[in-house]
Amino acid sequence: MMKKTILDFWKMSRQQEKITMVTAYDYSSAGLVEKAGADMILVGDSLGMVVLGYESTVPVSMEEMLHHAKAARRGAHDTFVVVDLPFMSYATIEDAMHNAARLVKEGGADAVKMEGGEEIREMAAALVKAGIPIVGHIGLTPQTITKLGGFKVQGKDYDSARRIFHDARALEEAGVFMLVLEAIPAKLAGKITEAIDIPTIGIGASNECSGQVLVYHDLLGLYDKFVPKFVKQYDTLGIKAVEALKRYCADVRTGVFPAEEHSYKIDEEIMNRIDK
């Protein structure tokens, strides 16, 4: 399948055809996501939690993002890949420019995602002007989880809902080509999607968005330390993996594995001579 472009995503959202996005952080998972036919891959900084075992996305570094972006890119040549700028890698416009360029040039990103609304308008506009396609991310923004007071739904009261709505407008004006809405009420997501021309990608933001994203490990049931309300587990691969690993250990212990079909043969005559 041909790699989709930003124009394809705009067209899909205009025609109300849902956009599918899944995270992937390495060669093999990106390959599976591409095989499944997802429209986009996100190398999210959620990798800090589900792959590296951090408590939040805050500790994730540029080097870690690049390491995983490169691997995911190698596994999915025909899929549009978005890579997250990690926390504090875009504290200034200069940093943002430098680090976003690295994600594109070294990491193979087709676009770069950053969290924030009005406060990053100028920065997003500068990156877009420099030629880097930008995806916005508002609502629950995990990089500022301490400020938000924990992983919880955003935009339920008037002030917060109004701010998120205006953040969406500000980002569209800045030139971002797509917007992730995380953990906000369904009706707010619907109103934003209606009010702006760029596609919205929801996670915990209802089906009133132009598309959806889920974390690979969440949707396959590979990470159960914390399962948000908005996650649907399409399988429990973590449980299946533990069962398979247990069977392997048991087979080794009882000598059942490796069997003859897993072993190599040598001529009897050679064997008879090697210790002579």
Ligand-binding site membership of 267 (annotated): no
215 scored as a contact of ligand KIV (CB under 6 A): yes
- Which two three-digit tokens encode residue 89? 């890698």
DSSP state of 55: S
| Cα gap 174→75, rounded to integer Å | 32
CB of 255 to ligand KIV, least distance (A): 43
26 scored as a contact of ligand KIV (CB under 6 A): no
| Cα gap 25→70, rounded to integer Å | 9
182 is catalytic: yes
143 scored as a contact of ligand KIV (CB under 6 A): no
DSSP state of 7: H
- Residue 155 near residue 185, CB atoms below 8 Å: yes
Count CA within 13 A, CB hemisphere, residue 91: 4
Find the residue with minimal CB distance to Na ion. 44
167 scored as a contact of ligand KIV (CB under 6 A): no
| Cα gap 39→142, rounded to integer Å | 24
Site stretch for ligand KIV (CB under 6 A), options 44-52, 125-133, 237-245, 256-264 = 44-52
Task: With CB under 5 A as the rule, give the number of residues binding Na ion.
Answer: 3
Vertex 203, ends 199 and 208: CA angle to 5°? 55
Among 26, 39, 45, 218, binds Na ion (CB under 5 A): 45
| DSSP states along 25-54 | -SHHHHHHHHHTT-SEEEE-TTHHHHTT--
Among 25, 30, 44, 220, binds Na ion (CB under 5 A): 44
Interface pattern 64-103 for Na ion (x via CB under 5 A): --------------------x-------------------
| Cα gap 44→205, rounded to integer Å | 18
182 scored as a contact of Na ion (CB under 5 A): no
Q: Which of 64, 172, 182, 208 is catalytic?
A: 182
Among 4, 33, 44, 199, binds ligand KIV (CB under 6 A): 44
Please report, as ranges, the residues that interact with Na ion according to CB under 5 A: 44-45, 84
Please report, as ranges, the residues that interact with ligand KIV according to CB under 6 A: 23, 42, 44-46, 84, 137, 180, 182, 203, 213, 215
